[in-house]
Amino acid sequence: MLEMLIYADVWTMQQIGKPYYKSNGTVSRQFAHDRRSVIRAVRRLESRGFLQSHQSESGRYLEALIPIAGSDTSVTGDTAVTSDTNGRGGDTSVTGGVTQMVVTSDTSVTQVENKREEEKKRKERRAKPRDLDEVIRVFREAGHEDLALRFYDHWESRGWKVQPGMRLSDWMAAARNFIDNEKRSSEARSNASGSSTGSRGAVRWRDAVHERIKRRYTGTEE
């Protein structure tokens, strides 16, 4: 039963895309078994060909294998990953052509992986808003709620990416830049409109000059 629980736990973690870095102590507490039982269960899974040991930069890890035809089917599953937390204290004896590995009680690798996962989620939250409502709230707080939909539509159409393969690093910073650019564009349009009128703002100065030239050459100038 313990073997099935361990294998299922490893397989489940694989399905959510998270490496399985649990120590023997963590597994023993999780399934209410002593550490020696966990070690024996891992060894039996390896000897049957359900688990295979590998080495990576982060240390040793186990891959859960899909049983082949005619093999022991007491445990079933897909591929997954686990680790012996840098391999300290690992048993690397070979049984049946599969490398044996015993997980140590060191939890440092688990903590590192958890931090990496948290950092990944934090970056994803900064890369794009949850929905349009969040964008509207940010623009409303900045006093420019009228620009929220334009900003959202612009980046939504781009998949919240600066260019293919490069996502936006901070959508709120992009929102601030969007507001600043709109302010500058509005001021530029206002200045251009003001410079095109005369001192009284009623007649365009170019039109006035053209009218004087017309009267002069047509002989109607006073």
What is the rounded average pLDDT of the residues 184-204? Answer: 68
Packed helices 148-157 and 171-195: angle between N→C axes, nearest 10 degrees: 120
- Domain-terminating residue out of 79, 114, 149: 114
Report the percent of the chain where pLDDT is more than 70.
64
Residues 108 and 209 in one domain: no
Q: Encoding tokens for residue 53?
A: 């040991």
Q: Cα–Cα distance between 108 and 21 in angstroms, integer?
A: 9
DSSP string, 14-78: HHTT--B---HHHHHHHTT--HHHHHHHHHHHHHTTSEEEEEETTEEEEEEPPPPTTS--SS---
Residues 24 and 99 in one domain: yes
Residue 15 lies in a domain: yes
pLDDT over 90 at 42, yes or no? no
What is the rounded average pLDDT of the residues 37-48? Answer: 86
Per-residue model confidence as pLDDT tens digits over 57-95 = 666 676 777 665 455 545 444 444 444 444 444 444 433
Residue 121 lies in a domain: no
Model confidence at 151, pLDDT cuts 50, 70, 90, reads: very high
Q: Cα–Cα distance between 148 and 171 in angstroms, integer?
A: 12
Residues 79 and 160 in one domain: no
Burial class from Cβ neighbours inside 10 Å (0-12, 13-18, 19+) for residue 82 reads buried
pLDDT computed for residue 129 by the predictor: 93
Nearest 5°: the CA angle 116, 119, 124 is: 125
Domain with 62, as residue range(s), is 2-114
Q: Considering the entire predicted model, what is its pTM?
A: 0.39
Per-residue model confidence as pLDDT tens digits over 93-145 = 433 444 344 444 456 667 777 788 888 888 888 889 999 999 999 999 999 99
pLDDT over 90 at 154, yes or no? yes
Which of 43, 40, 45 has its CA nearest to residue 72?
A: 45
Structural Rg of the chain based on CA atoms: 34
Q: Cα–Cα distance between 52 and 90 in angstroms, integer?
A: 14
Q: Cα–Cα distance between 220 and 214 in angstroms, integer?
A: 8
Residues 101 and 16 in one domain: yes
Q: How many domains does the chain have?
A: 2
What is the rounded average pLDDT of the residues 196-221? Answer: 62
Highest mean pLDDT among 10-24, 31-45, 181-195: 31-45
Residue 157 lies in a domain: yes
Residues 174 and 209 in one domain: yes
Residues 135 and 95 in one domain: no
Residue 123 lies in a domain: no
Residue 63 lies in a domain: yes
Report the percent of the chain where pLDDT is more than 90.
22
Q: Cα–Cα distance between 54 and 83 in angstroms, integer?
A: 9
Helix (H, G, I), strand (E, B) or coil at 144: coil
